Structure 1
């Protein structure tokens, strides 16, 4: 399918843009300022179904000081600024809705400091999670937040990402200790610190984590690290029904078994994974488990979960104990999105991201699958169900208005179902511009407070405009 480029209303005048670019070339050099269409289009799209909205230019800074200077220049000319990590977001976060300049942070990929004795580190925003864990490999430590894609840590902080390990280790919200942030006027501030707790003033770190580049541009991130477990074991278990798989998750969590990962995949997603990753798992609702701890505790956890699963119709446990076996298993899980897209070549994925209280998980998933069965669309379900988060992926041709309308209607129905039972419209993907209406439905009058914060920190609305809240 050809790249779908949306019509944009740029607020950038040609003269202002050229003047700003002249200053940016003087700051960064010709090679780190690009107006090439291929570069611009690459930076105007993410992994979602949303159409490409390219910026007017892309720059490639390498230090916080260069980012601050670039923001100061852009602010002087009133030019929008869109931060870019690896482009793996799913709600149009990097789309240049009003034109402007994208700040590509991939060259800011230095690991600034690792303190093994304190279990923390500081990295530039462009460092990816795989890069960090490769660097940490010989220290006995690792960073556990794993959204699947090899996303940048700045981007993960900006979207408050989580992933497969969140049930045990939490999300980026719990694992970011501090930030270096460039504000809309070019000032640079540091938030938080390395202490594991603090009562000093407003919690600005939590304000910026999840702000999606709308309040400031993160250039450095200080993170918690964890010791690599003594023993790790993974297993795959198939079920005769989706309800049995979900009830197994609920009983496991309510029994306080300290799981590292519990991932649910429906029969359609398992079929997609088998085809894409050349595996031969049964085409049935399936749970992927991972257990961390001592040899004895891992064995005990596995036996407890196996007993629960068997009571719910689960069977055919396949164990993955060696690193190679676990890597193969989790690589297949991480490729689930691309495996689903491959079921319909040329399609894009409109994916949901609801998260609900664990007691509501079974009903929410069952009703969602019933809606899909009544529709004309093809879709798959996968979820980090240990914390109540799941994704329904609808395969669509985004240039087919009927398909898009049907997928959006199913998605809206799902989101309102989740909100009604105390859940959220997004457990980890963020709002971008794709979920703005749902934010209002979920938070009501609180959205006006978010808008006040945006005005206070970005009065000219130049930081990733059109995302999270409309001004």
Structure 2
């Protein structure tokens, strides 16, 4: 623990009393996400309950040159929460109010600590839902900060398309509002898009205005088996190119199916699979299911089954959402390392087969899964965080997948964000544009107090 100024500690204690903690257990909880990255704990944790309180903490940190890292649900995978320079972890989980819902405008405003599941529970009786589903029950503020997406992105897009406006606390403590509820605007720089994906390095998001959607009249799921992953990707690519409006299209290889069966108590046949979800009227859903069934059968798929009951849908997607934990659970004490490349759909088959090839001989439990409708796929490894040789092997495999993705016009991260885990690949992907990112960071945060050492690496 670094030495924090007495005046700084006194100010936090006076303002927040028991909502400011320097207890080791609390600090350790806030010094890491859910991945393999080695945690570094902050010097203290503040639980904020309003934008005003966030502004107070950030302004105080700025006055004393003390780093501050925003913390939501703790589900990040690329080291976003690690306190590389110590400082204050600003926990926003108590900022959990849905402040406004407008059914007629299909939008709402929420505090940053509202989780995805809590928001949809709040909206359900109004016939609305928020579709962005990264798997984990992440906070809306964290999802905006990492530009999250997930299983529904093929139909509904990512956080980039679904955030209308933000309330943001700048590194000085100043509060600004970006965007608005109008569905289009040509007024000035698009600051909302600047902060969406900035991972808490330019400002701390405290409120988010979101697009909402009507709950579909009919929802159906389907599952199909393949003899090899190449056939599955061929079918997925054909479905995208035909323009079939699937809501979800998920690839799960046989290694993942085996892990999910054990973890979730399922009895799925162990082979490579595509899982689908369809939204719409009963007639349109039936038509799209039938068309997809024909496509997957032509590609070599078999046992194409579909169902409409909520129980079947929830059982399947719960298993898919638990995929990361299912793979990690295969080894006691393991941590998850998840790759996160995204490529043009036309290159998807080539890249997944490349991943399958380089995984041959890998001594670490691993499985391939992905939101193949938008070209995003992952390899999840269950690693021993204390085994340097094993970590080096996985790093080498991950690097090969990233290089392959970038070489075909893809990206090193489709949805997890950069954090510290993907910093080494930014210049390969963006070239001199990384220098502009660094200039923006310095211009907005000249003291470098907001989540230092992330994205552009200024610590």
Which bin holds the TM-score, normalised by the shorter protein?
A: over 0.9
Count of residue pairs brought into register by the alignment = 458
Counterpart of 1:205 (choices 192, 204, 211) is: 192
Alignment partners' CA distance in 1, 2:64 and 2:212: 41
Contact 1:431 1:468 in 2 (8 A): yes
Alignment partners' CA distance in 2, 1:48 and 1:447: 25
Does residue 280 of the first structure (1) align with residue 273 of the second (2)? no
What SS does the aligned partner of 2:403 have? helix
What SS does the aligned partner of 2:209 have? strand
Q: CA RMSD in A?
A: 0.9
> Following superposition of structure 1 onto structure 2, how do residues 325-344 of structure 1 map, counting pairs within 5 Å?
325-344=312-331
Corresponding position of 2:377: 390
Counterpart of 2:15 (choices 27, 48, 52) is: 27
String of CA shifts for 1:297-345, please: whole Å, max 9, x gaps: 1001000000011111111123231112111110010000000011222
> Following superposition of structure 1 onto structure 2, how do residues 261-410 of structure 1 map, counting pairs within 5 Å?
261-410=248-397
Counterpart of 2:119 (choices 132, 142, 145) is: 132
String of CA shifts for 1:399-447, please: whole Å, max 9, x gaps: 1111011000000010000000000000000000111011121111000
Q: Which consecutive residues of structure 2, in runs of 5 or more, have no partner in the other structure?
A: none
Corresponding position of 2:107: 120
String of CA shifts for 1:41-98, please: whole Å, max 9, x gaps: 0000101101121100000010100110111111111000000000000000000001
Alignment partners' CA distance in 2, 1:290 and 1:424: 26
Alignment partners' CA distance in 2, 1:268 and 1:140: 37
Alignment partners' CA distance in 1, 2:200 and 2:66: 15
Alignment partners' CA distance in 1, 2:55 and 2:363: 50
String of CA shifts for 1:332-367, please: whole Å, max 9, x gaps: 100000000112222112110000000000010001
Counterpart of 1:151 (choices 135, 138, 156) is: 138
Corresponding position of 2:429: 442
Contact 2:328 2:381 in 1 (8 A): no
**What is the deviation of 1:374?**
3.3
Corresponding position of 1:53: 40
Structure 1 runs (4+) greater than 6 angstroms displaced:
none
Alignment partners' CA distance in 2, 1:68 and 1:109: 17
Alignment partners' CA distance in 2, 1:434 and 1:97: 13
What SS does the aligned partner of 2:286 have? helix
**What is the deviation of 1:21?**
1.8
Corresponding position of 1:239: 226
Contact 1:48 1:90 in 2 (8 A): yes
Alignment partners' CA distance in 2, 1:173 and 1:312: 33
What SS does the aligned partner of 2:359 have? helix
What SS does the aligned partner of 2:278 have? strand
Alignment partners' CA distance in 1, 2:269 and 2:305: 11
**What is the deviation of 1:15?**
4.7
What SS does the aligned partner of 2:171 have? coil
Alignment partners' CA distance in 1, 2:298 and 2:141: 43
Alignment partners' CA distance in 2, 1:378 and 1:47: 17
Contact 1:241 1:313 in 2 (8 A): no
Alignment partners' CA distance in 2, 1:269 and 1:441: 31
Counterpart of 2:398 (choices 411, 418, 431) is: 411
